[in-house]
């Protein structure tokens, strides 16, 4: 998608064939440390006791881009039990989903899960995503924000394709199923089963998170 827009700045004759545009810079968002610190204080958040995993379970495009909430819960549970804290991001429209994810966790670990959906401004969400070690996200705007602030990204694709809108970051795991009907680019599953999402297991996501963390630790 970025290549398409950059190509508009060049004569059409230069844009024939493939590989015309290489080494394009990736989008980056700069974080002001003072503003970020104030945002953390505002929401009573602490990054020193446990590393932070951000979860972005929403997708404005439609349900065919949304990984099941029970899968997000399974990832949150395993990662919290492994020593992480979890922050849930999204708009007010995502509150039903984020509430369901947190409430489905065992009560004794819910204190390590913070529901921020609908509570932050976009700028505050950017600051808080930048404080996350890793982020698990559907193909959404917050996925691209997370990439632009330098998080480890586990990007989940259902009806859409990373060939068009991948997270442009260096530390990325892109996950999808190999079901034959994807990518269909539909807002809702035309076959009514959403197997492209339901059959993408939480364990694949957890494994990818651990691999990214290990790579970062060994870098």
Residue-wise pLDDT for 40-88, tens only, equals 999 999 999 999 999 999 877 777 788 999 999 999 999 999 999 999 9
Share of the chain above pLDDT 90, in %: 67
State pTM to two decimals: 0.91
Tokens of 132: 């996350």
Q: What is the pLDDT of residue 158?
A: 85
| Separation CA 86–CA 145 (nearest Å) | 17
Q: What is the pLDDT of residue 122?
A: 94
Q: What is the pLDDT of residues 161-211, one digit of tens each?
A: 888 889 998 899 999 998 889 888 888 888 888 898 999 999 999 999 999
Residue 145, CA distances (Å) to 18, 54, 83, 112, 180 in order = 28, 12, 25, 23, 30
Q: What is the pLDDT of residues 104-155, one digit of tens each?
A: 999 999 999 999 999 999 999 999 999 999 999 999 999 999 999 999 999 9
Domains of the chain: 31-218 (3.40.50.2000)
Burial class (CB in 10 A: 0-12, 13-18, 19+), 57: buried
């Amino acid at each position: 998608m970025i290549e398409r827009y950059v190509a508009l700045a060049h004569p059409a004759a230069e844009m024939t064939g493939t590989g015309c545009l290489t080494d394009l810079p990736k989008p980056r968002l700069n974080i002001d440390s003072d503003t970020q610190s104030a945002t953390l204080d505002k929401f009573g958040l602490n990054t020193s006791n446990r590393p932070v995993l951000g979860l972005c379970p929403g997708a404005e495009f439609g349900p065919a881009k949304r990984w099941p909430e029970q899968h997000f819960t399974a990832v949150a549970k395993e990662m919290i039990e492994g020593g992480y804290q979890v922050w849930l991001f999204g708009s007010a429209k995502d509150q039903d989903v984020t509430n369901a994810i947190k409430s489905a966790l065992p009560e004794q670990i819910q204190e390590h899960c913070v529901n921020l959906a609908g509570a932050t401004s976009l700028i505050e969400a950017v600051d808080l995503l930048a404080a996350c070690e890793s982020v698990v996200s559907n193909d959404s705007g917050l996925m691209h924000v997370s990439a632009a602030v330098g998080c480890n990204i586990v990007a989940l694709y259902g009806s859409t394709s990373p060939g068009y809108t991948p997270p442009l970051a260096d530390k990325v795991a892109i996950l999808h199923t190999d079901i034959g009907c994807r990518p269909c680019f539909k807002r809702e599953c035309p076959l009514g089963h959403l197997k492209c999402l339901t059959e993408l297991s939480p364990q694949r996501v957890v494994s990818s998170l651990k691999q990214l963390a290990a790579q970062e630790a060994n870098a």
